[in-house]
Amino acid sequence: MKLRTLLAMLVLVGTGSLAQQAYATDCSPDLTADLLAAISADDSGKVDSLISQGACANGTDSLGKSALMFAVEKQSLPMVSSLVNAGADVKAATANVSVLGLVNQIADPSQKLSMADAIFAMVDKNGRVYFLTYTRNISPIFAARCTMCHNAQMNPATNWSDYAAAFNKKELIYNRVAVKHDMPMQNMTNMTQAERVLVAKWIGSGAGK
Ligand code: HEC
């Protein structure tokens, strides 16, 4: 292929679609039927194990309906999170059905909200998808902004360097950091607004480890 053609293609497809192609080719399409069956059976453990065996997070049935769409229909936050984390396209749509359309059809508003939170928490402003985790995204923020006052010596139950402690008090953390904004105390550690949003999104998406 001529270099100029290649460059033109790169411009056309953009880096985003290249990343998605990588997902599509790095996975095992032959596990798709098993994946869809596990989702239909609401078996999130099986879904996780199939994903770790290489099942395609963007696998679809013969009509193009994606695994993520089935998981949204099941209203299963764990399955939605696992699929998005594995690269499932949150903007997937066929002529008749889309991921976000299905979220909006959920009758129970609280379920709808947490599902949408889980999906949106994982999409940044450039449309890149990622999964907020305590280890990757949140513990560095807590270490910089909270540990000075919240540590094992002060009180193990409010030691935010410990995932279990932070998870147990996630509603309180949400309230103080993202609603009342009275933590960090007098913002002595200069927590930024962007960090507050990340903490809120992490809690909104289930406060995963
Ligand atoms: C300068 C010290 C200081 C910093 C920094 C600080 N806190 Fe606190 N925090 C306190 C003190 C003192 C209390 C107990 C009094 C209170 O609840 O207001 C507290 C209480 C809390 C509580 C209530 C715990 C409970 O069980 O009632 C939460 C939640 C909390 N902090 C979250 C955070 C988070 C998250 C951070 C970092 C983003 C943070 N704090 C940073 C001093 C601090």
Q: What is the pLDDT of residue 112?
A: 72
- Tell whether 209 is covered by a domain: no
**Cα–Cα distance, 179 to 204 (Å, whole number):** 13
**Cα–Cα distance, 132 to 135 (Å, whole number):** 9
pLDDT along the chain (209 residues), means of 10: 41 36 65 97 95 94 96 90 82 90 82 69 56 84 96 97 97 93 96 85 83
Domain boundary among 97, 120, 143: 120
User: Domain check: are 67 and 110 in the same one?
Assistant: yes
User: Domain check: are 24 and 52 in the same one?
Assistant: yes
**Cα–Cα distance, 187 to 154 (Å, whole number):** 19
Domain boundary among 120, 143, 161: 120
Whose alpha carbon is nearest atom 20 of ligand 1? 183
Whose alpha carbon is nearest atom 1 of ligand 1? 185
**Cα–Cα distance, 109 to 113 (Å, whole number):** 6
Ligand 1 pocket test: which of 173, 183, 191, 197 has the largest number of ligand atoms within 8 Å of its C-beta?
Answer: 183
Query: What size, in residues, is the chain?
Result: 209
Q: Which residues contact 176 (CB under 8 A, 6 or more apart)?
A: 182, 183
Residue 76: which domain range?
3-120
- Tell whether 126 is covered by a domain: no
Q: What is the pLDDT of residue 150?
A: 98
User: Domain check: are 16 and 101 in the same one?
Assistant: yes
Q: What is the pLDDT of residue 14?
A: 34
Q: What is the pLDDT of residue 41?
A: 97
User: Domain check: are 47 and 86 in the same one?
Assistant: yes
User: Domain check: are 107 and 9 in the same one?
Assistant: yes
User: Domain check: are 21 and 72 in the same one?
Assistant: yes
Ligand 1 centroid from CA 134, angstroms: 18
CATH number of the domain that residue 73 is part of = 1.25.40.20
**Cα–Cα distance, 18 to 24 (Å, whole number):** 10
Q: What is the pLDDT of residue 23?
A: 42
Beta bridge partners of 28: 55
Residues flanking ligand 1, CB < 6 Å: 142, 145-146, 148-150, 158, 160, 169, 172-173, 176-177, 183-185, 188-189, 191
Ligand 1 centroid from CA 184, angstroms: 6
Confidence (pTM): 0.55
User: Domain check: are 116 and 145 in the same one?
Assistant: no
Atom of ligand 1 nearest to the CA of 177: 35
Q: What is the pLDDT of residue 82?
A: 85
Whose alpha carbon is nearest atom 29 of ligand 1? 173
Ligand 1 centroid from CA 77, angstroms: 29
User: Domain check: are 102 and 182 in the same one?
Assistant: no
User: Domain check: are 92 and 161 in the same one?
Assistant: no
Closest of 91, 159, 145 to residue 119, by C-alpha:
91
User: Domain check: are 104 and 140 in the same one?
Assistant: no
CA atoms within 13 A on the CB side of 33: 2
- Tell whether 125 is covered by a domain: no
**Cα–Cα distance, 91 to 100 (Å, whole number):** 7
Number of domains in the chain: 2
